[in-house]
Amino acid sequence: MADNRVVQGRMVTPKRLAELIEGESVMDAEPIEDADRDCPDCGENVLKVGYMPGVTSFVTGYKCQECDWAEIEDDD
Ligand SMILES: [Zn+2]
């Protein structure tokens, strides 16, 4: 399974993708998955990554592969 994916023309690791969504550094990230949804802005594929922005929290982030659209879902 390839861990790295191309997002907006750049190869990113799960942690780097989480950082793009979060806007700052994150502690840890799970492997990138395809989300079962299309980008509401451009209709392209949306990726999903679970990550820990801090020691006590875990969230799921979504990011369009082709544009700036991103969303964070709190799992709590
Ligand atoms: Zn998009």
Question: What tens digit of pLDDT does each residue of 17-45 get?
Answer: 999 999 999 999 999 999 999 999 999 99
* Amino acid at position 37, single letter: R
Q: Measured in angstroms, how far is the CA atom of residue 34 from the centroid of ligand 1?
A: 14
Q: Measured in angstroms, how far is the CA atom of residue 20 from the centroid of ligand 1?
A: 14
* Farthest-apart Cα atoms in the chain, separation: 34
User: Residue 54's pLDDT band (boundaries 50, 70, 90)?
Assistant: very high
Query: Is residue 3 scored above 90 in pLDDT?
Result: no
The token pair at 60 is 């799921």
| Residue in 75, 65, 76, 4 with CA at minimum distance from that of residue 35 | 65
- Cα dihedral 73→37→28→75 (10° resolution): 30
pTM: 0.91
Q: Measured in angstroms, how far is the CA atom of residue 43 from the centroid of ligand 1?
A: 6
Q: How do residues 62-71 score in pLDDT, each as one tens digit?
A: 999 999 999 9
pLDDT score recorded for residue 74: 77
